[in-house]
Chain A
Amino acid sequence: MTTVDVRPVDLRPVYVAGTGLHPFGRFDTTLTTIGATAVRAALAEAGVGRGGFDAAFCGCVYGCVASGHKVFTALGLSGGPIVNVEAGCASGGAALALGAAQIATGRAERVVVLGLEKMPRGMIRSSFFEPWREEAGLAATPGYFALRAQRLMRESDVRLEDLARVSVTNHAHGVHNPNAMYRKPVTVEQVLASAAVCEPLRLLMLCSPNEGAAAVVLSATPPADGPAIRIAAAQVRSHLPGNVLGEHTPLSGLVDDGMPTPTEMAARAAYEEAGLGPDELDVVELQDTDAARHILSAEELGLCPRGGGGRWLRDGGGEMTSRLPVNPSGGLLSKGEPLGASAIGQAIEIVWQLRGACGARQVADARVGLAHTVGRGANACVMIIRR
């Protein structure tokens, strides 16, 4: 473990003063317009305009040069520091962690954190892979997910029907999310009958890359009205080597590969920072790139025992009627995954849950929520938000 635990003595609380979302889906608008929609909404909610924030952090992966700067330029809001942050699927979470730290340490009174993305269509092409690796067919992302799903099924009692059930549950939640890309319920039979992408994964067990944006205004002072919602933890971790199926997608790994995953490390640090454990959570938004990832995420976050994800799921774990609803937004399976925007979108869902503003998908009296992203790099981010 190389992370140095630097802990200033007088950290200030970090409040969420405003939220703004551009729906996730496919649109004929530019990345800049999509991002500007989210920023404008977040600033309006926070009652903040030009000069009202000290810095902006922007998570984006496929936007190329200065995608955040283009958004703030378009809105006439440039001049302060604007920093673009790339950390794969955890980009938005990393941006939020950096923004929150500015406020906690007194370097800023208010910051805007933006996540935005416009993904190419089809199987995700990633500059992460060397050209020869693409040429050899070894950059097939769903193939890696499939091998991980196969291993999960072999090493625990997770069955194909359980993977289908993840999709069914998340899509049932997504029906009630007007900002989701897919809002139709599906049945176990429909999921199992959908095209086999890579055995054992079916099309309806995989999320779609897409477009969208999400922005929050973080502040050193609580909003004048409504509940005081604060970022209780925001932790980012990268992988340790060794697991051939790790999110860093190596070409080799050790046979003895029981080292902690980036999600486990980020979760441990986040629970410590927030001073609470998984038993105290009321709502969770977790990474469900594919149905097996949903189960692994639940295990790695400590929502159920390691190896107990199948049982947890069959007992209704994560459903709206369970003790701890997971992915009330519908998850990435319903929303799609605009990489840079994904984590901020989760954070906003948690904030809206804590405000009691989620209508038909509201978790009753939610007070503490967790948002989790993990992906290529490898990077994991865990945020804990509470009121």
Chain B
Amino acid sequence: MQAPRPIAPHLFATSGDETMLRAAACDACTRLHFPAGDACPYCGNDACRERLVGRTGMLFLHTAIASRPPGYRGELPFGFGVVELPEGLRVVTRLTEADPSRLRQGQAMRLVVTPLHTDDDGNPVVSYAYAPAETSS
């Protein structure tokens, strides 16, 4: 078993038990965006600073994906939705719960790291996802 490989290096940061999303805040207009881009998408300002957000959030929208999307090698079905963060951002995310009837709008969620699949070199590939806050992952 090799070390888990994040789906991409710039998306999330884990420290101990805590996972955060690597968003960016604009120095000029203060608005947040995720993932961090080359410039603020709202005002075009180049100077944005990393800001870790999204340890917790509230479920805003949710569904489940049952048919295999292009390029996806993980489990089916999987939960898919939008979580609203207290920092003022809404993020599109995988959900650990794949049964939409077991989720409800507004419920507390927390950010976790979940396995997706094992790559061709035998490395487990992991992604960020939101899980219901009351259950353990």
Chain A contact residues, CB within 8 Å of chain B: 122-126, 129-132, 134-144, 146-147, 150-151, 154, 196-200, 241-242, 244-245, 249-255, 257
Residue of A nearest to B21 (CB): A252
Main secondary structure of the interface of B (DSSP, over half): strand
Would B89 and A253 count as touching, CB distance under 8 A? yes
A150 to B82, CA, bound (A): 11
Within the complex, what minimum Cβ distance (angstroms) separates B83 from chain A? 10
Contact, CB under 8 Å: B92 / A136:
no
Whether A139 contacts B89 in the complex (CB less than 8 A), given A241-B41, A255-B84, comes out as: no
Residue of B nearest to A196 (CB): B66
- Of the A-B pairs whose beta carbons lie under 8 Å apart in the complex, a sample of 30, sorted by A's number, is A123-B69, A126-B70, A129-B71, A132-B8, A135-B125, A136-B74, A137-B69, A138-B80, A139-B69, A139-B72, A143-B80, A146-B63, A150-B62, A150-B63, A197-B67, A198-B64, A198-B65, A199-B64, A242-B42, A244-B92, A249-B92, A250-B41, A251-B92, A252-B23, A252-B33, A252-B34, A252-B35, A252-B92, A254-B88, A255-B89
State how many angstroms separate the Cβ of A244 from the closest Cβ of chain B: 4
Q: Contacts A125-B70, A199-B64 given: A137-B90 contact, CB under 8 Å?
A: no
The chain B residues found within 8 Å of chain A, CB to CB, are: 7-8, 23, 31-35, 41-42, 61-74, 78, 80-82, 84, 88-94, 100, 105, 116-117, 125, 127
* Residues of chain B contacted by A137 (CB below 8 angstroms): 65, 69, 72, 74, 78, 80, 94, 116
* In the complex, chain B residues whose CB is within 8 Å of the CB of A141: 69
Given contacts A122-B70, A141-B69, A251-B35, 9 further A-B contacts (CB under 8 A): A123-B67, A137-B69, A137-B72, A140-B69, A143-B65, A143-B80, A151-B61, A200-B63, A245-B82
Q: For B64, what are the chain A residues with a Cβ–Cβ distance below 8 Å? A: 198-199
Assess whether B63 is in contact with A198, with CB atoms less than 8 Å apart: yes
Q: Which residues of A have CB within 8 Å of B41?
A: 241, 250
When A135-B71, A137-B72, A198-B65 are in contact, do A147 and B89 touch as well, CB less than 8 Å? no
Most A CB contacts (10 A, CB to CB) among B35, B62, B66, B71 go to: B71
Closest to B88 in A: A255
Residue pair B91, A134 in contact (C-beta under 8 Å): no
Distance in angstroms from A72 CB to nearest chain B CB is: 31
* The 4 nearest A-B residue pairs measured at CB: A134-B71, A125-B70, A140-B69, A252-B34
| Measured CA separation A195–B116 after assembly (Å) | 26
**A141→B65 CA distance, assembly (Å):** 10
Closest to B117 in A: A135
The answer for the CA separation of A246 and B82 in the assembled complex, in Å, is 13
Known contacts A245-B82, A252-B33: A134-B90 contact under CB 8 Å: no
Known pairs A138-B92, A250-B92, A252-B90; A244 contacts B31 (CB<8 A): no
